[in-house]
Copies of this chain bind each other. A is one copy, B any other.
Amino acid sequence: MSGQNIRLSVDAVVFGYDAGTISVLLIKRKYEPFKGKWAIPGGFVLQDESLEEAVERELKEETGIEIDYLEQLYTFGNPKRDPRSRVVSIAYFGLVHPSTFDIFAATDAEEVQWFKIDDLPQLSFDHDKILQFAITRLRAKITYEPIGFELLDEKFPFSDLENLYTTLLGRPVDRRNFRKKILSLDILDELDEKISKGSGRPANLFKFNQKRYNHLKKKGIVFEI
């Protein structure tokens, strides 16, 4: 027991969304093992920080990013997952708004990049497994928790939400029925603002009302698409 020599790390799969594609944030490894290969950002947990603090610190150190939504994903503990020594990794998954996504997508730092999830490079360690796990969770979770809003701007036209769901679910959604359903949940505030995207009729902007959602949830009313 006293001979336990297991190191503990955290890894974060961070998703961003723009114009019909989901991307994930990766870093290029500077050192062995897997030097030069892409990996999910992460690192070792420090003695006195919580796991969430470790994730946020590592993300800031390695990518400069600050996360809008973070949740624990799964803990990967296969004894052979790191070729050097025993490392157990607690994986998180995170979401960022387009404002964050855009900034970092623009700066093409060679060592930090967004990759579209259907055009991923080879990954280090068991990171492909972790990433697939995260994608599965994201796709599933948007159907029973209103986390999709974390991938949109604070104020968004309804079509953005619809496109996000079309993308994540991988199938078309009926515009009228989708709108009816979401609006019936009573978790969106319709704003007195319009946005015009090139040609076409300007769209009304909406805003997710987190407080109202929490309130409804407490009453046992569930989000479901």
Residues of B within 8 A of A4 (CB): 7-8, 44-47
Q: Is A3 an interface residue (CB 8 A)?
A: yes
Chain-B contact segment, one of A19-27, A69-77, A182-190, A192-200: A69-77
A contact face: mostly helix, strand, loop, or mixed? loop
- Assembly of this chain: how many copies? 2
Residue of B nearest to A49 (CB): B79
Residues of B within 8 A of A49 (CB): 79
Report A's interface with B, CB cutoff 8 A: 1, 3-8, 43-51, 72, 74-75, 77-79, 86, 88, 90
- The list of the 10 closest CB pairs from A to B, nearest first, reads A51-B77, A75-B75, A6-B8, A1-B44, A75-B90, A48-B79, A4-B44, A4-B7, A8-B88, A50-B77
Show 25 A/B contacts (Cβ-Cβ < 8 Å), sorted by A.
A1-B43, A4-B7, A4-B8, A4-B44, A4-B45, A4-B47, A6-B7, A6-B8, A6-B45, A6-B47, A8-B8, A8-B88, A45-B77, A47-B79, A47-B86, A48-B79, A48-B86, A50-B78, A51-B77, A51-B88, A72-B74, A72-B75, A75-B75, A77-B90, A88-B90
